[in-house]
Amino acid sequence: MKLPSFRLRIALLSAALAGSTLVGFGAVSWFQIYNAKINRFDAELLNQLMRATPNLPPPGEPPVPTASLRREVLSKGSRPSRWQFYEDSLSYAFGTNTKTPIAILVLDTNGNILYQSNSLPADLEVNRLLLNRLQLTPLPPPPNRQPPPLPSNTNPSFEPPPFLRPRPPQFVTEQTPITAWRIGAANFPNVRVAIAVSLQVVNQEMATIRNIFLVSIPGALLLVAVGAWLVSGGALRPIRELTGVIQQVTVKGLDQRIPIGTTDVEFALLIQVFNQMLERLERSFTQASRFSGDAAHELKTPLTILQGELERTLQQVDPGSEVQQRLSNLLDEVRRLSGIMRKLLLLSLADAGKMSLYLVEVDMSELLMEMLEDVEMLAPHLSVQTDFTDGLRLLGDRDLLIQVLQNLFSNAIKYNLPNGWIQIRTHQTPTTLHVTIANASKDIPLSDLERIFDRFYRGDPARTRKIEGIGLGLSLAREIARAHHGDLTLDQTSFGQTAFTLTLPMKLQN
Amino acid sequence: MLVNILFVEDEAKIANFVRAGLKEQGFVVDYCDNGDQGYLRALDNEYDVIVLDIMVPGKDGLSILKLLRRQGRNAPVILLTARNELDDRLEGLNLGADDYIAKPFFVEELAARIHAVVRRSVSERQNLLCVGPLKLDRITREVTCNHQAIELTSREFNLLEYLMRSPGRVFTRTQILEHVWGYDFNPNTNVVDVCIQRIRKKIDPIDQAVWIESIRGVGYRFRKPDPC
């Protein structure tokens, strides 16, 4: 299972937070900009509509004479040309870009068309929208429109009459298949005017702004995510250091402490607590270790006295007498007891990582030959196959290695089949020596394979009574092998046999 | 030859049977129960072997060993270890101890070790062991019976040598097992009996007398030859 990464989560969360903020901010500002643009547009539209009153602009005074050549749709005296000029002037008012389509519709009070942009008959949709708009624009417009009074009026008490605009025209945005239009209409006493200006330009500008947002927001998000990743990495550094130290804390390294040093205050407490925990652990571990040492000492003294007195008394009674037999049995039990105690002590030393080795040059071939001699004596019915050369020498603790081999060989005899076999193979590489001791056996149940090195564990409980010995041997043998920087493994693939392989380094650094 | 031994051990009950056992084996034992006194005695006298318990009041066994070696005293030292067996053994051997023996131990085994270190330190010809018709050379590991060579395996040789060293003394199977095979050998095997049978088969055709006697329910002993 893949565990979620705290660091990744922090980075993603920051990115999500920054992302939603940026998107919200972008959306709001986009609408603000859009509204501002539309308002400006509307103001201009209003302005232009005001100009459409019969007073403004004065007829016969075309704002841009050159535009008069452009189009003459309706030939109804001077009016059409006036509206023509008006339309042209609109083009200039709105047309930073002359391609901005503009449409106007001018009706008289009876609803007859006075002027129509030449594109309109073709564009029925816009035409309909303009008519709609005109019909929605309330009638009647203010009857009399006074020009603004001159400021040169001398009477200070005279309140100038308010400049009455036509009822403020409503501007709407309407969508046609081609483009969006901003449409405004005004009713004047003698004429009704509706103007539609394409929002193409505004929309294009808004699209540009949107595109800028679309590009810059992911970029900003990436920046935020990377930044959060780096920052959280920095924040997690004390945790990583902690992990590193904890990894080094084995039973051998309980004296490790994490330096508080320049750590932030939040982590200092954690480190402090952890160090305290280590200290308690170390203290209780040394106590336990010393306890087992002391206990062994306390146990060994009475055992030594028992054994010594039994040995001496045994020599003082009649040879072969019943008393001597009993004493002999007692002595055996004392030896068994001290054997168990010795193994337990060795295991506790191994657990504490204090199994110290007295290294001498060990002739493995010679040891194996001795073991084979024992096999021959103990189990003459077994067929023995050997495959090893003379002079397999390595540095090791002779006594402990003998113990390992004796354990493996006695297991190979104990758990063999009637008329079975034992096979000893060695395999030497420049750095390691592998000694494999295999014997015919029943298949070890899968459930036992993993527990075979457990302490006080002995395969089939039914066999426990028949075959003596305690289940410390294999566990201890493996600890000894590991103390030599080697290992003891059970070959799990073979059927009908049990094969243990002892691996030892050829050159052992003490 | 008399072997003088200094034995330093604080536990009186252990000291009692060890002294008794060693005296029975013909050793002269000088005993003291604390390290300081033991060290002074070791400086004042020339002992053939010093047997030191590591945990004694005053100077502990390892300190005594260290000081003696620093003084240039090279008398063989055998350490008795109880506490942290492996560490003590390692340190002791590195400090120049000649052997170590872990508690609990057999006095017989201690005697065997003492003999071994004495033989090693004194270049005296004590390699030959003769009992009855049997002659055993510890160095060449040759055994003859009535001047006829007998081929023995290493286990058989060690067992025979162990029994022959104390003729008439009864050895239990466990004792033999521990001496010849090591203390961790499965104590319930009949390997001792099998090995004895093999030795007998090799000796009996040459000399009709039964030299290795079975003690029923106990073990074996080498028959003491009649004084002649």
| Residue of B24, B53, B103, B152 best to disrupt the A interface, most CBs of A under 10 A | B103
Judged against a pLDDT cut of 80, whether residue A405 lies above it is answered with yes
Per DSSP bridges, beta strands B77-81 and B27-32 are: unpaired
CB contact under 8 Å between B106 and A356, yes or no, is no
**Interface confidence: ipTM more than 0.90:** no
Tell me what the pLDDT averaged over chain B comes to.
Answer: 86
Pick the more confident residue, A278 or A88. Answer: A278
User: In this model, does residue A60 exceed pLDDT 60?
Assistant: no
Q: How confident is the model at residue A470 (pLDDT cuts 50, 70, 90)?
A: low
Average pLDDT over residues A400-420: 88
Q: Residue A66 — pLDDT band, cuts 50, 70, 90? A: very low
**pLDDT value of residue A82:** 73
* C-beta of residue A491 within 8 angstroms of C-beta of residue A436: yes
Chain position carrying tokens 């029975």? B24
Q: For residue A192, which of A269, A112, A265, A258 has the smallest C-alpha distance?
A: A112
Q: Which residues does chain B have within 8 Å of residue A370's beta carbon, measured at their own beta carbons?
A: 154-155
Q: What is the dihedral of CA B64, B65, B69, B70, to 10 degrees?
A: -40
| Nearest Cβ partner for A315 among B170, B183, B184 | B170
Residues linked to residue A385 through DSSP beta bridges, in sequence order = A423
CB within 8 Å: B14 and A406:
no
Closest residue in chain A to residue B191, using alpha carbons only: A378
* Interface contact A373-B154, CB threshold 8 A: yes
* B217 conformational bin, left if phi > 0, alpha if psi -120 to 50, beta if neither: left
User: In degrees rounded to 5, what are phi and psi of residue B146?
Assistant: 50, 45
Instruction: Give residue B185's pLDDT.
Output: 65
Model pLDDT for residues B63-78, shown as the tens digit of each residue: 899 999 998 888 899 9
Higher pLDDT, A356 or B125: A356
What gap in Å lies between CA A477 and CA A154, rounded to an integer?
Answer: 123
Distance separating alpha carbons of residues A166 and A44, to the nearest angstrom: 15
pLDDT at A76: 41
Whether the CB-CB separation of A117 and A100 falls below 8 Å is answered with no
Residue-level pLDDT at B36:
92
Show Cβ contacts of residue A451 under 8 Å, excluding neighbours closer than 6 positions: A457
The encoded tokens of residue A246 equal 């904890």
Q: Which two tokens stand for residue A37?
A: 């643009």
B219 closest CB neighbour out of A328, A355, A407:
A328
Q: Which residues of B27-53 are buried (b: 16+ CB within 10 A; e: fewer)?
A: bebbbbbebeebbebbeeeebbbbbbb
Which residue pairs, CB below 8 angstroms and at least 24 apart, start in A89-94? A89/A48, A89/A51, A89/A57, A89/A62, A89/A63, A89/A64, A90/A48, A90/A195, A90/A197, A91/A67, A92/A63, A92/A64, A93/A44, A93/A47, A93/A48, A94/A44, A94/A48, A94/A197
Distance CA A189, CA B189 (A): 133
CB-CB under 8 Å, B215 with A373: no
Q: Are strands B49-53 and B3-8 parallel, antiparallel or unpaired?
A: parallel
Measured between beta carbons, which residues in chain A are less than 8 angstroms from residue B104? 300, 303-304, 306-308, 334, 338
Residue A150 banded pLDDT, cuts 50, 70, 90: low
**pLDDT for residue A122 is more than 60:** no
Amino acid at site A188: F
Q: What pLDDT is stored for residue A269 in this prediction?
A: 83
- Asked whether A258 and A270 are in contact (CB, 8 A), the reply is no
CA proximity to B156, closest of B168, B164, B167? B164
* pLDDT tens sequence across B207-223: 877 889 998 888 999 98
Per-residue pLDDT of A430-463, as tens digits, reads: 889 999 999 998 877 777 777 788 776 655 555 4
pLDDT digits (tens, 9 = 90+) for B117-141: 888 776 655 678 888 888 888 888 8
How many contacts (CB atoms, under 8 Å) link A and B? Answer: 159
Mean pLDDT value across chain A: 77
Cβ distance of A399 and B182 shorter than 8 Å: yes
How is residue A109 written in tokens?
């009070």
* Segment among A128-132, A267-271, A430-434, B81-85 with least mean pLDDT: B81-85
Strands (E), A67-157: 102-108, 113-116
A248 or B115, higher pLDDT: B115
Distance CA A139, CA A187 (A): 7
Q: What is the pLDDT of residue A465?
A: 43
Q: In angstroms, rounded to a whole number, what is the distance separating the alpha carbons of residues A259 and A239? A: 13
